Structure 1
Amino acid sequence: MTTTSEHTQSVSSATPATPSRMLRYLPTSALIIDVVLMTVVGLVAIVGRRYLDVFASSASVEQQLVIAGPLMITGWIVTLMILGSYHHDVFGAGTDEYRRVLNASLLAAGATGVGSYLLKFDLSRGFFVLAYGLGIPALFLGRFLLRRALHTARRRGLLRQRVLIAGTRSHIDEVAGVLGRELWLGYEVIGALTPEYDLSEETATGLPVLGNANEATSLVKHHRADALFFAGGAVGSSAQFRKVVWDLEQDQVQVVIAPSVTDISNERITIRPVGGLPLMHIEPPTWSDASRWGKRTFDLIGSAALICAFAPLFLLIALQIRLYDRGPIFFRHNRVGRNGDEFACFKFRTMVQNAESLVADLQEENGASALLFKMKDDPRITPPGRWMRRLSVDELPQLFNVFLGQMSLVGPRPQVAREVALYDDSMSRRLHVRPGMTGLWQVSGRNDLTVAEAMRLDLYYVDNWSMLQDLSILGRTVGAVLSSRGAY
């Protein structure tokens, strides 16, 4: 293996100035946005209270603005600070940021109400309700837009953190693969640190080995890394790990433990410290919950409402298909549903009438896999079918499958028997739940995804189902359909 000094010189000479230092201004940016939003909401509350006159009050709104306005904003900001809403770790990912903003806002509202009562301050109830009633959603919106801007910048290579990963090569590649796939997290892996006995110069995926894991402190400082990830096999003892944390505590370097646990939602993970040992408890997969009455009731009501709403569009599409080639309007194809039961899946016909007989020739011609077979510029698609596929309206008749209980509004992609026959043991888990009209595969790239990525997303959905996730996917589906990304 090349010596540590040689690796250090080669990487250091090619390393640009660290761009992630701008991340230190994230809390300040959030603070400025919050103050501006609170001020605007306060003015809106004054106007709203005056003209709506929701609550009768003898108090002068203008006088309250001079006294109560600055005090409410200051108290609100201080409460956000105390509850950690401006801590740099909460930005960019997870729900913790929004949870802290909500808790702090409710606490500030309670303190304002109690304080006004104890001090006998005649605070307008209309102003109070409008200020906090509009202010909390406004803060959520501000944080959401800040997060979107941060994710966009990171996908463009900006505001990223330089990362070193310590551990065995297989574990390093696993962690690096996740960080490389989720670019919005903002982690740029610059190298690996392997155990002393490993003399390799790079990992299996080509990540350079910059040195040994027991030299992590000096290598992190030399390569100006912002974060050090500890993967499996990184350290030999807890004492060694603790010493690294102590050595880096003054350098503002994040130390992250990345266990060999992937594709498990945070709702299924609980960390319980026992005798100073943090134990990670992983709850069983939640696919059985997706088969209960709550999800089925939601599917039944939702599909019925959507069928009624789209009835005029159904008529327009049917007329266009019929006028094009006088062929059948619907395409019914057997798909494999929950527990392996086959059902007739409804779609508007977008291909020529002999499309199925051409599949084998197209697979051989393009060298495509029979699993999740799709191709761009498919010659079998008719002109009306192209715009229907681009907007995904060809799949609207599947609402009838949802209503009949054969499918769900959200779930894994429905597949045909020849695709299911290629499943391995892990992929067969997709059959634990009903297939869906939309799913993680659709909102994450649809047909632009590789087979491995699509399978991973389907398995993640099955193992980590929740009603909130379904609602989130339905919301993201609207954006995916309008952007037409991966639709063909």
Structure 2
Amino acid sequence: MWQFGETMPHVPVARPAQTQVIREQPPSGRRTSKPVWYAPAAVIGDVAGAAVPVYLAFAPAGSTHAAAYATVAAAAWLLVRGARDRYCEPSLGERDNTGPALQDWLVLVGLLAVVRAATGEESPFLVALAALVPCAPTSAVVHTLIHRHLVARRRDGRAVRRALVIGEANAVDGLASHLAKRTDHELVVVGVCPIGDEDPHALAPVATRLGRQAPQRPSADSAPVLEAARRLDVDVVLIVPGPHMTGTRLRRLSWALHGEELPLVVVPGLTEVAGRRVGILSVAGLTILSVAPPLRRGLATLVKSVTDRLGAVLLIALLAPVFVAVALAVRLDSPGPVVHRQTRIGRGGQPFTMAKFRTMVADAERLRHQLTGTNEQDGRMFKIRRDPRITRVGRVLRRCSLDELPQLFNVVRGHMSLVGPRPPLPDEVAGYDEVERRRLAVKPGLTGLWQVSGRSDLSWDETVALDLRYVDNWSPSGDVVVLVRTVRAVVVGAGAY
């Protein structure tokens, strides 16, 4: 477990473009409320996304029950969403909604299937199912717009919570800087309370101090903390556990904070762990944080393997004309083979031959050694924004990611997955440290978090961080989200060179 204040190589907490953005402290006063229109907008979007398509699906056929079907669909969708707390104030706008919307849609289909069977409804099943499809994407779009609006407000110091951080000096520094480098969350550190005499270098001022040893009287801890909390008008107190913040000391401090109706948040220092993997256990009176291991086997992984191969076969069949057109363009543009084959490293460090449409001149590998000094990446990868080896057709193929299409055959053969980390070269892997080698715990992917988050515009550390996030937190719904985001990334083409 990594603690704030320690060094964790090659796993940054934010992108370099963001690390220079330090959110200013908001003025005093309660700032926890979000705009009141968030919930009504989400409800209206869900009602429209369910009712309108259902009505339009049945009304043209002359069905007398079109309005009733639309009403039932909208009511059922609101029931499912409301039961899963999608409209509650704490969760609105906190994240995009693609994954939750897909999960809720599956529940909706199951619920309406039960209602259909119970009532003996005889409307065309496929028509009804097709009419429900827009529910999830409409909801995802509305909630994504709300999320973006909320992030914009938080950059201006609104809809945030003022936080006081308590812990060892180095831990306080780590947590305060971590939070200050990002503007997409609700916490703003307005004061720190170091334990001991060491001075932290945090951006926020020292509000008070606590002694290293737990005092005999609990009020010796609680009094200065409460006074600082009142003076700074904080909304939440964050405590980073350490050798001098024992369980008993933490418990007594929590009594005082809760007496003032101030929430207490204990920060264990774990990073990039999905919430679904974290649980709270109570054993012999002890509160224990449980972190489940990543999914590596079982039904979910079997479904992923089958889905990968079936999906790849289907895409190859559907995109056959594109394969032919691209192959012809590559052949006519420059001399050399149509398909470029290259050794890459797969799961567990096993090498395999990856195929892609050739986008460079035939002797690109030989010319690479002459361009070593022009590498624009800061790590293992070799990338040049205006690489002279790339052909005219190659630039277009890279811009549209069409050069990656032959990798579908690698997916069919089991070397790769539709979604996964970027497949590395052998010379890249040769320089990996222990942290970076964890990228090889799963199959590389045709697309992944790297591809939908900026691709070649990302630094090496960012690439590793994204890949490790995927490796540690993989889930089937996460793959669906990445595939949906891939479409947008291909259209925009950011970082593709």
Please give the TM-score of this superposition, normalised by the length of structure 2. Answer: 0.73
Say which of 235, 242, 246 aligns to 1:233.
242
Alignment-derived partner of residue 10 in structure 1: none
Counterpart AA for 2:154: R
How many residues end up aligned between the 2 structures?
Answer: 445
Q: 1 CA distance for matches of 2:374 and 2:464?
A: 24
- SS of residue matched to 1:89: coil
Alignment-derived partner of residue 284 in structure 1: 293
State yes or no: 1:467 paired with 2:457. no
Contact 1:163 1:187 in 2 (8 A): yes
State yes or no: 1:265 paired with 2:274. yes
Say which of 205, 209, 212 aligns to 2:209.
212
Q: 2 CA distance for matches of 1:332 and 1:134?
A: 40
Alignment-derived partner of residue 90 in structure 2: 89
Say which of 455, 461, 465 aligns to 1:446.
455
What are the Cα deviations for residues 228-271 of structure 1, in whole angstroms up to 9, with x where unaligned?
A: 22223297344543454454458775432211222222222221
TM-fit CA distance, 1:443: 2.0
Sort the Cα spacing of 1:173 and 1:304 in 2 relative to 1 into closer, same or farther, 3 A.
Answer: farther
State yes or no: 1:484 paired with 2:493. yes
TM-fit CA distance, 1:180: 4.8
Sort the Cα spacing of 1:298 and 1:233 in 2 relative to 1 into closer, same or farther, 3 A.
Answer: same
TM-fit CA distance, 1:191: 4.5
Counterpart AA for 1:230: I
What are the Cα deviations for residues 104-130 of structure 1, in whole angstroms up to 9, with x where unaligned?
A: x98xx99xx9xxx9xxxxxxx99xx99
Deviates more, 1:244-253 or 1:228-237: 244-253
Alignment-derived partner of residue 161 in structure 1: 161
Counterpart AA for 1:318: A
Sort the Cα spacing of 1:254 and 1:353 in 2 relative to 1 into closer, same or farther, 3 A.
Answer: farther
Sort the Cα spacing of 1:245 and 1:35 in 2 relative to 1 into closer, same or farther, 3 A.
Answer: farther
Contact 2:355 2:410 in 1 (8 A): yes
Sort the Cα spacing of 1:388 and 1:162 in 2 relative to 1 into closer, same or farther, 3 A.
Answer: farther
Q: 1 CA distance for matches of 2:367 and 2:444?
A: 26
Q: 2 CA distance for matches of 1:91 and 1:372?
A: 39
Alignment-derived partner of residue 436 in structure 1: 445
Sort the Cα spacing of 1:193 and 1:436 in 2 relative to 1 into closer, same or farther, 3 A.
Answer: same
Contact 1:168 1:233 in 2 (8 A): yes
- SS of residue matched to 2:488: helix
Contact 1:352 1:382 in 2 (8 A): yes
Q: 1 CA distance for matches of 2:366 and 2:273?
A: 41
Say which of 465, 471, 479 aligns to 1:456.
465
TM-fit CA distance, 1:351: 2.0
TM-fit CA distance, 1:420: 0.4
Sort the Cα spacing of 1:432 and 1:32 in 2 relative to 1 into closer, same or farther, 3 A.
Answer: closer
Q: 1 CA distance for matches of 2:297 and 2:181?
A: 29
Say which of 5, 27, 31 aligns to 1:17.
27
Matches within 5 A, 1:27-42: 29-31=38-40, 33-34=42-43, 38=47
- SS of residue matched to 1:218: helix
Deviates more, 1:354-363 or 1:419-428: 354-363
Deviates more, 1:242-251 or 1:77-86: 77-86
Sort the Cα spacing of 1:54 and 1:352 in 2 relative to 1 into closer, same or farther, 3 A.
Answer: same
Sort the Cα spacing of 1:267 and 1:407 in 2 relative to 1 into closer, same or farther, 3 A.
Answer: same
What are the Cα deviations for residues 149-170 of structure 1, in whole angstroms up to 9, with x where unaligned?
A: 3234435665333333322244
Sort the Cα spacing of 1:467 and 1:78 in 2 relative to 1 into closer, same or farther, 3 A.
Answer: closer
State yes or no: 1:406 paired with 2:415. yes
State yes or no: 1:202 paired with 2:201. yes
Counterpart AA for 2:185: L
Q: 1 CA distance for matches of 2:134 and 2:41?
A: 15
Contact 1:154 1:160 in 2 (8 A): yes
Sort the Cα spacing of 1:415 and 1:366 in 2 relative to 1 into closer, same or farther, 3 A.
Answer: closer
Sort the Cα spacing of 1:20 and 1:383 in 2 relative to 1 into closer, same or farther, 3 A.
Answer: farther
Q: 2 CA distance for matches of 1:25 and 1:292?
A: 39
Counterpart AA for 1:299: D
Sort the Cα spacing of 1:186 and 1:267 in 2 relative to 1 into closer, same or farther, 3 A.
Answer: same
What are the Cα deviations for residues 48-83 of structure 1, in whole angstroms up to 9, with x where unaligned?
A: 8776565779xxx8xx9xxxx9xx98x999998898
Larger radius of gyration: 1
Matches within 5 A, 1:235-384: 236-238=245-247, 240-249=249-258, 253-274=262-283, 276-288=285-297, 292-366=301-375, 368-369=377-378, 371-384=380-393
Q: 1 CA distance for matches of 2:245 and 2:300?
A: 44
> 5+ residue gaps in structure 2?
1-23, 211-220
Sort the Cα spacing of 1:384 and 1:140 in 2 relative to 1 into closer, same or farther, 3 A.
Answer: closer
TM-fit CA distance, 1:333: 1.2
Q: What percent identity do the matched residue pairs reach?
A: 33
TM-fit CA distance, 1:412: 1.3
State yes or no: 1:397 paired with 2:394. no
Contact 1:168 1:194 in 2 (8 A): yes
Sort the Cα spacing of 1:239 and 1:261 in 2 relative to 1 into closer, same or farther, 3 A.
Answer: same
- SS of residue matched to 2:164: strand
- SS of residue matched to 2:33: helix
TM-fit CA distance, 1:301: 0.7
Between Structure 1 and Structure 2, which shows a larger proportion of helix residues? 1
Q: 2 CA distance for matches of 1:141 and 1:447?
A: 27
The RMSD of aligned alpha carbons is 4.5
State yes or no: 1:150 paired with 2:150. yes
TM-fit CA distance, 1:422: 0.8
Deviates more, 1:159-168 or 1:436-445: 159-168
Counterpart AA for 2:435: S
Counterpart AA for 2:443: R
Alignment-derived partner of residue 3 in structure 1: none
TM-fit CA distance, 1:364: 2.8
Contact 1:285 1:464 in 2 (8 A): yes
Q: 2 CA distance for matches of 1:323 and 1:46?
A: 51
Q: 2 CA distance for matches of 1:463 and 1:78?
A: 33
Q: 1 CA distance for matches of 2:358 and 2:366?
A: 15
> 5+ residue gaps in structure 1?
1-13, 118-124
Counterpart AA for 1:390: R
Sort the Cα spacing of 1:372 and 1:248 in 2 relative to 1 into closer, same or farther, 3 A.
Answer: same
Counterpart AA for 2:33: R
Sort the Cα spacing of 1:370 and 1:360 in 2 relative to 1 into closer, same or farther, 3 A.
Answer: farther
Alignment-derived partner of residue 4 in structure 1: none
What are the Cα deviations for residues 286-313 of structure 1, in whole angstroms up to 9, with x where unaligned?
A: 2345994322211111111111222222
Contact 2:295 2:474 in 1 (8 A): yes
Sort the Cα spacing of 1:430 and 1:49 in 2 relative to 1 into closer, same or farther, 3 A.
Answer: closer
Deviates more, 1:274-283 or 1:236-245: 236-245
Q: 2 CA distance for matches of 1:475 and 1:464?
A: 18
Contact 1:337 1:407 in 2 (8 A): yes
Q: Flag the structure with more relative contact order, 1 or 2, with Cα contacts below 8 A and sequence separation at least 6.
A: 2
Deviates more, 1:156-165 or 1:469-478: 156-165
